[in-house]
Amino acid sequence: MADFNQFTFKDHVRESLIFNRRLMVAIAVVSILTLLLLGRLFQLQVINYNHYTTLSEKNRVNIVPIAPTRGLIYDRNGVLIAQNVPSFILEVVAEHVDDMEQTLSELKSLVALSDNELKSFKRQLKRKRAFVSIPLRYRLTDEEVARVSVNFYRLPGINIKAELARHYPIGKLMAHVAGYVGRISERDLRRLNQSEYSASSYIGKVGIEKSYENLLHGKVGFQRVETNANGRILKVLERTLPIPGKTLYLNVDANLQAVAEKAFGDDNGAVVALDPSTGAVLALASIPSYDPNIFVQGLDSETFKILRKSPSRPLFNRAVQGQYPPGSTIKPLLGLAGLELDEARAHDSIICRGWYMLDDDIDQRRYRDWKREGHGSTDLTEAITESCDVYFYDLAYRLGIDRIHQYLSAFGLGKNTGIDIEGELNGIIPSKDWKRRNYNEIWYPGETLINGIGQGYMLSTPLQLASITATLSRYGKRMKPLLLHSIQDPKDKSLQLIQPQTLPSVHMIDSSHWGTVLRAMKRVVHSARGTARGISHGLTYQMAGKTGTAQVFGIKEGERYEESEIKKKLHDHALFIAYAPIKEPKIAVAIIVENGGGGGSVAAPIARKVIDYYLLGKTHEPVPAS
């Protein structure tokens, strides 16, 4: 570079001249642009100063967002599950209040203010940003609204805001399906579109309210308003209306749900009913439930603590989050696996003497059947009908845990069903590999036996059990359980149906195996030796089912116990799965009664009531309104 300059020394001078001339042009342009900016600033700050001061200080022509009306939720028959009711809030803008103490004492003479409300108000007062209004009292009565309104003139900074608050008319009954909305929290604010929620005070926290938040919420509108110095709206200049949220129709039948809940009596547990052909969730109840309305306005920490700490755990959604040992309810699946892999034949029998022992077991451990004296000669049909444990110990041992894992997984166990509410748990279907990963231990043959009757590591949710029942009833065709039935536009009433979603089917090489197992399930209810024969009395349709009992604590080898001697908390969980009618099944049910005892005596009668109501409309329980 330096060399080059030596050769063209004259150019160097010329170039410097060109450069300097161009620099002058640049300086001129910089000056012009600077003057342009200054001119613009002069225009804004000097010429139009009054205009902008008016905008910013006095008139405050504000853009006020308008909250959209939240979509309603109905059940499949049009029973209202969630609605919006008007509610008035007393608000304070601290910057406009001259003397806070005096204002508060004056307010006390107009409306009832609890110490809790005052405490929470003062706490928010310390943390808030400037000119933001703080709620002092929610849910003013009409009379209180009137009393405060006539005194507005001497209470600067006090405002009454009207809003629509969420209300659940049949609250407790649908709490675990619909969920609830709550005040938007700091955490919600961080993840949502803030301008979309600028006028909203509520957001779905649990259940349908959460999973379909984007449909229910609607689109924000805005209005340009003129407000006075106290921030009160004087005039609306222009308005763009918000678009209300969509109306949702659920597959759930509130009456069916009420029948199921009532059938539980004082027991806790869960019931899930599905339409096998569509996957529609007809009922999904977790008992006990809670009143979702108390969450809407925000509840004090004490009430929440009581709810959280209650031993019956009302907030816990047993239907999708409760993981229970499936017990004998998985025996039909094991039977199918056995037939398919030729480890069992329909008419081959074993002899059940009331216990089973592994050939090479040094400890000589006896795995007991629930029936002490044994079932005698038992084939697959009898083993399912009478729920013979020994038959399935033997079958499980021959199948091995990994093949069991493979077959049960094909039915969707061990994996969430994908139902359209959050928080669903997966359950566990163990395998050798699973145990190595989770316990870093090898698999013992004895564990195969225990898991072969749905105990041990094996866990599943009531929803999963209902789903496998539906799958069985349709010879392996699987549907995703869905709560949402249709979406309706609140304006033009156009209805958009949610299409059923199929899942990968369970294939059997020999489809006659389905018949073998399903016929046995029918005998569970209809034969004289079936474990659920108790509910067959007066049955006008045909039902197939399977009972189950899930041990809550281990009984030592060879030990016997009397149920009444053990505390209720340690009783076995009672399970029952069923579908009906056998030809063209319309409903598949899974029921778990916590610490209920026997599946046939406790859980099956509940299923009978649920299915009776659904197929025959036998018991017309009116939906309780709160």
- Which residues are marked as active site? 328
Residue 564 carries which DSSP code? G
Nearest to 135 by CA among 163, 166, 169: 163
Asked if 497 is part of the footprint of other proteins (rule: CB under 8 A), the reply reads no
Spell out the residues 6+ positions from residue 295 whose beta carbon is closer than 8 angstroms to its own. 180, 181, 182, 205
User: Count of H helices and E strands in the chain?
Assistant: 23, 23
Asked if 23 is part of the footprint of other proteins (rule: CB under 8 A), the reply reads yes
Closer of 45 and 626 to other proteins (Cβ): 45
Asked if 40 is part of the footprint of other proteins (rule: CB under 8 A), the reply reads yes
Asked if 24 is part of the footprint of other proteins (rule: CB under 8 A), the reply reads yes
Closer of 229 and 555 to other proteins (Cβ): 229
Distance of CA 620 to the CA centre of its chain: 28
Closer of 14 and 415 to other proteins (Cβ): 14
Nearest to 161 by CA among 183, 138, 131: 138
Answer positive or negative: Cα dihedral of 618, 619, 625, 626.
negative
Subset of residues 507 to 566 that bind other proteins, contact rule: CB under 8 A: none
Write down the least CB distance from residue 192 to other proteins, Å: 16
Closer of 44 and 555 to other proteins (Cβ): 44
User: Applying CB under 8 A, which part among 43-51, 298-306, 403-411, 574-582 lies near other proteins?
Assistant: 43-51
Question: d(Cα 197, Cα 183) in Å, to the nearest integer?
Answer: 12
Q: What is the dihedral of CA 366, 367, 371, 374, to 10 degrees?
A: -60
Give me the 128-147 binding string for other proteins, x by CB under 8 A, dash otherwise: -xxx----------------
User: Applying CB under 8 A, which part among 3-11, 106-114, 464-472, 480-488 lies near other proteins?
Assistant: 3-11
Q: CB burial class (10 A; 0-12, 13-18, 19+) of residue 196?
A: middle
Size of the site for other proteins (CB under 8 A): 51
Give me the 59-78 binding string for other proteins, x by CB under 8 A, dash otherwise: ----x-x-------------
Give me the 209-228 binding string for other proteins, x by CB under 8 A, dash otherwise: -----------x-x-x----
Asked if 38 is part of the footprint of other proteins (rule: CB under 8 A), the reply reads yes
Subset of residues 320 to 359 that bind other proteins, contact rule: CB under 8 A: none
- Answer yes or no: are the C-beta atoms of 242 and 217 closer than 8 Å: no
Closer of 198 and 619 to other proteins (Cβ): 198
Binding other proteins (rule: CB under 8 A), the pick from 42, 439, 444, 561 is 42
Binding other proteins (rule: CB under 8 A), the pick from 6, 9, 28, 51 is 51
Residue 505 carries which side chain, given as an amino acid letter?
S
Write down the least CB distance from residue 8 to other proteins, Å: 6
Asked if 15 is part of the footprint of other proteins (rule: CB under 8 A), the reply reads yes
Query: How long a stretch of residues is the chain?
Result: 626
Nearest to 446 by CA among 455, 434, 437: 455
Spell out the residues 6+ positions from residue 359 whose beta carbon is closer than 8 angstroms to its own. none
Crossing angle, helix 401-410 and helix 445-452, to 10 degrees? 30
Asked if 35 is part of the footprint of other proteins (rule: CB under 8 A), the reply reads no
Give me the 390-429 binding string for other proteins, x by CB under 8 A, dash otherwise: ----------------------------------------
Subset of residues 234 to 253 that bind other proteins, contact rule: CB under 8 A: none
- Answer yes or no: are the C-beta atoms of 457 and 432 closer than 8 Å: no
Closer of 128 and 308 to other proteins (Cβ): 128
Question: d(Cα 468, Cα 490) in Å, to the nearest integer?
Answer: 36
Question: d(Cα 225, Cα 235) in Å, to the nearest integer?
Answer: 6
Question: d(Cα 81, Cα 478) in Å, to the nearest integer?
Answer: 29
Write down the least CB distance from residue 7 to other proteins, Å: 10
Asked if 41 is part of the footprint of other proteins (rule: CB under 8 A), the reply reads yes
Binding other proteins (rule: CB under 8 A), the pick from 28, 53, 214, 415 is 53
Spell out the residues 6+ positions from residue 465 whose beta carbon is closer than 8 angstroms to its own. 272, 326, 329, 575, 577, 590, 592
Asked if 19 is part of the footprint of other proteins (rule: CB under 8 A), the reply reads yes
Binding other proteins (rule: CB under 8 A), the pick from 28, 33, 125, 234 is 33
Asked if 193 is part of the footprint of other proteins (rule: CB under 8 A), the reply reads no
Q: 3-state SS string over 173-204?
A: HHHHHHCCEEECCHHHHHHCCCCCCCCCCEEE
Most distant pair of Cα atoms in the chain: their distance: 119
Asked if 185 is part of the footprint of other proteins (rule: CB under 8 A), the reply reads no
Write down the least CB distance from residue 304 to other proteins, Å: 31
State how beta strands 73-74 and 158-167 pair. Answer: unpaired
Write down the least CB distance from residue 54 to other proteins, Å: 8
User: Applying CB under 8 A, which part among 54-62, 68-76, 390-398, 439-447 lies near other proteins?
Assistant: 54-62
Write down the least CB distance from residue 186 to other proteins, Å: 16
Binding other proteins (rule: CB under 8 A), the pick from 114, 185, 195, 214 is 195
Helix/strand/coil percent split, the chain, to 5: 40, 20, 40
Residue 487 carries which DSSP code? E
Asked if 16 is part of the footprint of other proteins (rule: CB under 8 A), the reply reads yes
Answer positive or negative: Cα dihedral of 577, 429, 517, 531.
negative
Could you count the other beta carbons within 10 Å of the beta carbon of residue 17?
10
Binding other proteins (rule: CB under 8 A), the pick from 6, 9, 22, 605 is 22
User: Applying CB under 8 A, which part among 24-32, 113-121, 415-423, 441-449 lies near other proteins?
Assistant: 24-32
Binding other proteins (rule: CB under 8 A), the pick from 6, 9, 28, 46 is 46
**Binding region for other proteins (CB under 8 A):** 1-2, 4-5, 8, 11-12, 14-27, 30, 33-34, 36-38, 40-42, 44-46, 48-49, 51-53, 55-57, 63, 65, 129-131, 195, 198, 220, 222, 224
